[in-house]
Amino acid sequence: MQASTNLISTTDFLLHLADNALIMGHRNSEWCGHGPVLEQDIAISNIALDCIGQARNFYQYAARLMGEGHTEDSLAYLRDERAFRNCLICELPNGDWAQTVLRLYFFSTYQYFLFQQLQHNSDAELAGIAAKSLKEVTYHLRWSSEWVIRLGDGTEESRQRILQALDALWPYTGELYTPVAYESVGEADMASIQTAWLDHVKAVLEEATLSMPDMGWMQQGGKTGIHTEHLGYILAEMQFLQRAYPGAEW
């Protein structure tokens, strides 16, 4: 009984990490071909590719633990909205470039501090995936924080846009570092992640000449499958072929 509970928690946690990465990758990939300048179009596609790669590693490991014919694709393409465990912030629409880079910054900062701890997890496979992902996330964090600073301290228009993005995204940041039960598998000290996240964000916002918003009410629910209305549309689009042609190989 104990063992199977642990297994459920472990797979829940892996799916949470995988869903986070997949939905972030999916959203960022929507920029491909539509970026503000060619060089940055390439940059955000690279980041999307990293995220999709992370998702695949976590799904593959979860599928092996779950057995019963599960694969990375059955987990990504055949679970419905309520089974997805990604944080709400990942599924919000891209909005403009300000909202996209600020969301990526918030998310990468969280991933950065989380993976620093996960790379020492007692589960060697999980630790390995975290260590590999950490290298990618370190770059995402650098890239996105520079953009936040640039937009905050750029023109009056860019400043207004990043302020709007801050308003829109801030209520979704608390969920990142507020743990639910299955996150105990991560063996991470979430309180220290919260502190590190807030300190980092404060410093970057300051450099961007922006002030830290009041903590205020935080939206929750994604980690336990209660999503915004946006996720259903992401999945409808993403899963369409697998749903329309059940069992087909692609």
Where on the chain is the footprint of other proteins (CB under 8 A)? 22, 26, 29-30, 32-43, 45-46, 48-49, 52-53, 55-56, 59, 72-73, 76-77, 96-97, 142-143, 146, 149-151, 153-155, 157-158, 161, 234, 237-238, 240-242, 245, 248-250
CB nearer other proteins, residue 132 or residue 219 = 132
Q: Minimal distance in Å, beta carbon 102 to other proteins? A: 13
What is the chain written as a DSSP string? -HHHHHHHHHHHHHHHHHHHHHHHHHHHHTTTTT-SSHHHHHHHHHHHHHHHHHHHHHHHHHHHHH-TT--HHHHHHS--GGG----HHHHS---SHHHHHHHHHHHHHHHHHHHHHHTT-SSHHHHHHHHHHHHHHHHHHHHHHHHHHHHHTS-HHHHHHHHHHHHHHGGGTHHHHS--GGGGGGT--HHHHHHHHHHHHHHHHHHTT--PPP-------GGGT---THHHHHHHHHTHHHHHSTT---
Q: Which C-beta is closer to other proteins: that of 229 or that of 249?
A: 249
Cβ 1 to other proteins shortest distance, Å:
33
The answer to whether 41 and 35 are in contact (CB under 8 A) is: yes
The minimum distance between CB 52 and other proteins, in angstroms, equals: 5
Q: Nearer Cβ to other proteins, position 63 or 169?
A: 63
Closest approach of Cβ 51 to other proteins, in Å? Answer: 10
Whether 19 and 225 have beta carbons less than 8 Å apart is answered as no
Q: How far is the CB of 218 from other proteins (least distance, A)?
A: 29
Tokens at residue 83, please?
Answer: 């089974």
Q: Which is nearer to other proteins, 9 or 45 (CB)?
A: 45
Closer residue to other proteins (CB): 206 or 237? 237
Which residue from 137, 102, 47, 113 is spatially nearest to 213, judged by alpha carbons? 102
Whichever of 39 and 214 has its CB closer to other proteins, that residue is 39
Residue with Cβ nearer other proteins (78 or 218): 78
Q: How far is the CB of 21 from other proteins (least distance, A)?
A: 11
CB of 125 to other proteins, least distance (A): 18
